[in-house]
């Protein structure tokens, strides 16, 4: 992995700037950008299908946060660094929201809990990777990015917990089909991140 870059004497506040980051972190940001693009589309997919008022309020609130995450990452990741498969990630995201929305609220909440659990781990790994590059927390660009990722992660944890709290466990555990779908969502997210590092 590339070493730390940037000046330790630069101000520690302000937005992260991908142009001064190590290549590995730029590829991390490409996965974040694709993921937040997909997240926006997940909630749009839910809203395109469901008429359930509680699910709509849930999706609208989460969508606003994901749109803010995406806008923040777009500010710091130039178009040339973004995934060339964004159309695919948008379509996959929309389906990941729309399909469970056609089944019902439990399927939506289980899907979001799975997605946001994955995203929490994803941002945690990235924060740990920044801490390995800059253990003294002296590199301003890295620390600006770290703060941003930390704030995103807190939002994703809120989303995960919100979904988990709404999943009606009194109605029994998830069906085998829902369990399989949730597994596929996690596996698909992991696969998408791997592909995004390269394309």
- Considering only the stretches 24-32, 45-53, 76-84, 151-159, report the one whose residues sit in contact with Fe ion under the rule CB under 5 A: 151-159
Q: How far is the CB of 34 from Fe ion (least distance, A)?
A: 12
Q: Does 159 interact with Fe ion (rule: CB under 5 A)?
A: yes
**Closer CB to Fe ion, 120 or 134, in the complex:** 120
Q: Does 120 interact with Fe ion (rule: CB under 5 A)?
A: no
Token pair of 185 as six digits = 């969502």
Q: Does 113 interact with Fe ion (rule: CB under 5 A)?
A: no
Q: How many CA atoms lie within 13 A of 43 on its CB side?
A: 22
Answer for the pair 89, 73: CB distance below 8 angstroms, yes or no: no
Q: Does 160 interact with Fe ion (rule: CB under 5 A)?
A: no
In Å, what is the CA distance from 82 to each residue of 26, 147, 151?
9, 21, 21
Q: How far is the CB of 13 from Fe ion (least distance, A)?
A: 22
Q: Does 156 interact with Fe ion (rule: CB under 5 A)?
A: yes
Subset of 17-36 contacting Fe ion (CB under 5 A): 36
Q: How far is the CB of 131 from Fe ion (least distance, A)?
A: 21
Q: How many other C-beta atoms can be found within 10 angstroms of the C-beta atom of residue 71?
A: 11
- Indicate which single residue of 28, 32, 66, 134 sits in contact with Fe ion (rule: CB under 5 A): 66
Token pair of 16 as six digits = 């992260």
In Å, what is the CA distance from 130 to each residue of 52, 81, 139?
41, 19, 10
């Amino acid at each position: 992995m590339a070493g730390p870059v940037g000046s330790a004497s630069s101000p520690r506040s302000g937005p992260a700037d991908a142009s001064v980051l190590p290549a590995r972190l730029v590829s991390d940001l490409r996965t974040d950008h694709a993921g937040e693009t997909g997240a926006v589309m997940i909630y749009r997919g839910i809203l395109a299908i469901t008429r359930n008022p509680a699910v709509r309020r849930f999706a609208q609130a989460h969508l606003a946060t994901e749109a803010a995450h995406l806008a923040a990452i777009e500010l710091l990741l130039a178009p040339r660094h973004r995934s060339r498969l964004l159309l695919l990630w948008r379509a996959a995201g929309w389906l990941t929201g729309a399909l469970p929305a056609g089944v019902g609220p439990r399927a939506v909440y289980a899907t979001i809990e799975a997605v946001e659990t994955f995203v929490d781990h994803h941002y945690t790994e990235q924060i740990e990777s920044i801490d390995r590059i800059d253990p003294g927390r002296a590199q301003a660009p890295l620390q600006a990015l770290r703060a941003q990722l930390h704030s995103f992660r807190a939002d994703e944890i809120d989303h995960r917990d919100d979904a988990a709290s709404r999943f009606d466990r009194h109605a029994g555990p998830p069906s085998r089909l829902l369990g399989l779908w949730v597994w596929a969502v996690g596996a698909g997210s992991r696969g998408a991140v791997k592909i995004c590092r390269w394309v």
